[in-house]
């Protein structure tokens, strides 16, 4: 454990100063692309115009014989593309794989000035972040980078969930966490073969009707991911970093995708992964606060003056706490609306 006094010192001579706050940039959708696929890589410039984050994926879904092609493809895409205000992230291979060392060495030294965040899969504890933290600092120094690259961990092992707080607190580089429901399901030995979303078998059932034992009994499907997502949101917020829902694998089921994303938004997540262009628009819609909520929140803030005391608005009690809730909504709306004329108009800024 580093002394609090040393926490913000660079981990290598010549590496940039760590950030004290995670800078806010819209990240409603982290859109994955396969940099080994030349056709997909050619579309990155256009996608950058509509995505908050584009992520060059090097890990799962990239076949073993395409790993080097993907890494080199990402170097080329990063150099040749104008990303505008879109962030460029990558997901490197897992720390126990034969590829991750070269992923980090090559990407940080070749395109470190273009990479905003490196996503680390299958993080199990603070020790994994410490390893990457020091290595990235050494590489940043070698590449003479002026701004630190941030780290994002995927919460996708049972051990990682057990250690989620220490993962979030492991380094000032920690930008956020994503839920990885597929690997997490496997790690926990959950009996679902789906990638995120609900499961019709995970339900509760009403008691039998004593007057009619055979009468149908109402059931309500429960959320398999609620516990983990809620725990992740708390751990992230307690450490000033950002929580994200991960992938939703049923691309054709846009309605259930929207539901899953909205649950995550309501619970405190700032974005989700998108695995197909159709999910980009869903994420943009869901992770931008609804205009009606923002207008309501502005009304409460205006009525509450200095934010203390209590007032009634449209029959609803407002006090210091609801003032803060409304500030969360308006603050997010304001940040997302900056540079977005459509949202600016919708929110009345
Ligand atoms: C994502 O990486 C997942 O395993 O769900
Ligand atoms: Mg995974």
181 lines ligand 1 (CB under 6 A): yes
Q: Which of 238, 261, 287 is the last residue of a domain?
A: 287
Mean pLDDT, to the nearest integer, of 97-118?
A: 98
From the CA of 119, how far away is ligand 2's center (Å)? 11
Q: What is the mean pLDDT of the chain?
A: 97
247 lines ligand 1 (CB under 6 A): yes
- DSSP letters spanning 242-277: EEE------TT-HHHHHHHHHHHHHHT--BEEESSH
In the predicted model, is pLDDT for residue 105 greater than 90?
yes
The verdict on 162 and 212 lying in the same domain is yes
Mean pLDDT, to the nearest integer, of 67-82?
A: 97
Q: What is the CA radius of gyration of the chain?
A: 22
CATH of the domain at 250: 3.20.20.60
Mean pLDDT, to the nearest integer, of 209-235?
A: 96
pLDDT for 200: 95
Which atom number of ligand 1 is nearest to the Cα of residue 60? 2
From the CA of 119, how far away is ligand 1's center (Å)? 12
182 lines ligand 1 (CB under 6 A): yes
From the CA of 61, how far away is ligand 1's center (Å)? 10
The verdict on 320 and 226 lying in the same domain is no
Residue 333 burial (CB count, 10 A): 25
pLDDT for 331: 97
Q: How far apart are CA 245 and CA 255, in angstroms?
A: 16
In the chain, the DSSP E strands lie at 29-33, 53-57, 87-91, 117-120, 150-155, 174-179, 203-205, 219-221, 242-244, 272-274, 311-313, 316-318
Which atom number of ligand 1 is nearest to the Cα of residue 182? 5
Domain that holds residue 342: 292-347
Q: Which of 287, 306, 333 is the last residue of a domain?
A: 287
In the predicted model, is pLDDT for residue 1 greater than 90?
no
Could you read off the pLDDT of 20-64 as tens digits, one per residue? 999 999 999 999 999 999 999 999 999 999 999 999 999 999 999
pLDDT for 333: 98
For the chain, the domain total comes to 2
pLDDT for 307: 94
Which atom number of ligand 1 is nearest to the Cα of residue 91? 2
From the CA of 234, how far away is ligand 2's center (Å)? 21
Mean pLDDT, to the nearest integer, of 185-197?
A: 96
Residue 326 burial (CB count, 10 A): 23
The verdict on 231 and 325 lying in the same domain is no
The verdict on 306 and 234 lying in the same domain is no
- DSSP letter for 203, please: E
The verdict on 174 and 296 lying in the same domain is no
- Dmax of the chain from CA atoms? 78
271 lines ligand 1 (CB under 6 A): no
């Amino acid at each position: 454990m580093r002394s609090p006094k040393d926490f913000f010192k660079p981990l290598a001579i010549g590496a940039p100063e760590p950030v004290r706050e995670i800078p806010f940039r819209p990240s409603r959708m982290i859109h994955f692309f396969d940099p080994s696929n030349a056709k997909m890589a050619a579309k990155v410039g256009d996608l950058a115009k509509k995505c908050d984050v584009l992520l060059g994926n090097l890990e799962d879904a990239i076949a073993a014989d395409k790993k080097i092609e993907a890494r080199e493809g990402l170097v080329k895409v990063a150099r040749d593309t104008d990303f505008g205000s879109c962030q460029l992230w990558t997901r490197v291979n897992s720390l126990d794989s034969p590829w991750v060392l070269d992923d980090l060495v090559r990407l940080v030294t070749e395109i470190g000035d273009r990479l905003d965040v490196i996503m680390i899969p299958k993080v199990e504890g603070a020790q994994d972040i410490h390893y990457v933290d020091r290595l990235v600092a050494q590489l940043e120094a070698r590449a003479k980078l002026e701004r630190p690259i941030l780290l994002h961990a995927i919460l996708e092992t049972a051990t990682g969930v057990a250690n989620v707080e220490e993962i979030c607190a492991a380094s000032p580089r920690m930008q956020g966490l994503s839920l990885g429901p597929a690997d997490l399901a496997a790690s926990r030995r959950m009996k679902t073969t789906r990638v995120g979303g609900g499961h019709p078998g995970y339900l509760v059932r009403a008691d039998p009707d004593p007057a009619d034992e055979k009468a149908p009994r109402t059931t309500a499907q429960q959320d398999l991911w609620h516990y983990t997502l809620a725990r992740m949101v708390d751990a992230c917020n307690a450490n000033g970093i950002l929580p994200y829902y991960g992938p939703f694998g049923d691309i054709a089921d846009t309605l259930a995708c929207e539901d899953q994303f909205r649950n995550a938004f309501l619970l405190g997540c700032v974005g989700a992964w998108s695995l197909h262009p159709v999910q980009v628009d869903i994420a943009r819609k869901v992770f931008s606060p609804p205009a009606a909520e923002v207008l309501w929140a502005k009304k409460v803030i205006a009525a509450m003056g200095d934010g203390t005391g209590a007032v009634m608005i449209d029959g609803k009690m407002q006090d210091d706490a609801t003032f803060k809730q409304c500030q969360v909504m308006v603050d997010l709306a304001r940040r997302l609306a900056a540079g977005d004329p459509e949202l600016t108009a919708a929110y009345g800024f």
